[in-house]
Amino acid sequence: MAPEKLSKLARENKSLLCFGVDPVKTRMRGEIAPFFSEITDALLAEHLISAIKPNYAYFAAEGFDGLFALKEIIDRYRNKTFVILDAKRGDIGKSSEAYAQEAYDFWGADALTISPYMGEDSVKPFLREGKLAYMLGRTSNSGAKDFQEKKIGKAPLYEEVFKKAREWGTGLVVGATSDAIPSAVQIAGEGTPLLIPGIGAQGGEYESLKALSKNPFIHRVNSSSAIAYAYEKKGGSPKNAAIAEAKATVGKINSFVF
């Protein structure tokens, strides 16, 4: 089961950190797979991360070279850590079935981010034994207010998604740039895994992570470019700068969660 794998890895590493793999060729030294493999290998060896989250869009933007790199990275790490494919899928039932087959059977991901906007029949195909679907709840971008914060009665729309996560047995994406993490835990339940983007380069607040403290190990807090491209600010090698940034991030997370 996905939550058990999440919990086991986090307990072993005493880390909730997820490394977001967002390749930007103008910021990288070398090709995608070698660049990120060197960093990820080092982060795993140092017990700093308990998941990786490759972002499909960045790989697809590089055409077949990017997609081959995505396959290489997932194949390299799917038996070493928890792999979340950040592809934000969601369509009518048959199309969602095809997207689920792609994510779980072809790419071999443990989990997938999905959009709940089209409703239950678009979500159900992603609910597979041993896999985890993270529904977009309250995302970390500024445009989240356009729809997610619209009121349904007295509560924001995203709280309806939190309720459905509990009902359907999904995880949730809840950004650290919002104040929605405590309500996600309260409404969706302490057993609902959260994927939390927004710390690091997006400037999300760590203090809201206190809400995870009752059942912390099933959750993941993501940092992407702040780790991958830390060497741009810190100097030195990408690997060593990434290790230093990840250590600092884990320390901040743990100070609020444990």
Q: What is the pLDDT of residues 171-186, one digit of tens each?
A: 999 999 888 999 999 9
Residue 32: CATH number of its domain: 3.20.20.70
Expressed as residue numbers, the domain containing 9 is 2-257
Question: Tell me, what's the pLDDT at 177?
Answer: 83
Which are the catalytic amino acids? Answer: 88
Question: Tell me, what's the pLDDT at 48?
Answer: 98
Question: Tell me, what's the pLDDT at 205?
Answer: 81
Within 10 angstroms of residue 88's Cβ, the number of other Cβ atoms is 16
Spans of the chain, pLDDT less than 50:
none
Residue type, 204: G
Please enumerate in sequence order all residues whose Cβ is within 8 A of that of 56, keeping only pairs 6 or more positions apart, or say none: 70, 85, 86, 87
Question: Tell me, what's the pLDDT at 200?
Answer: 64
Contacts from 223-226 at CB under 8 Å and sequence distance 24+? 223/17, 223/18, 223/19, 223/20, 223/199, 223/249, 224/19, 224/20, 224/21, 224/22, 224/53, 224/55, 224/197, 224/200, 225/20, 225/22, 225/24, 225/27, 225/200, 225/201, 226/199, 226/200, 226/201
Residue 190, burial from CB neighbour count under 10 angstroms (0-12, 13-18, 19+): middle
Question: Tell me, what's the pLDDT at 201?
Answer: 62
* Total tally of structural domains belonging to the chain: 1
Question: Tell me, what's the pLDDT at 202?
Answer: 66
Nearest to 210 by CA among 155, 255, 163: 255
Residue type, 232: E
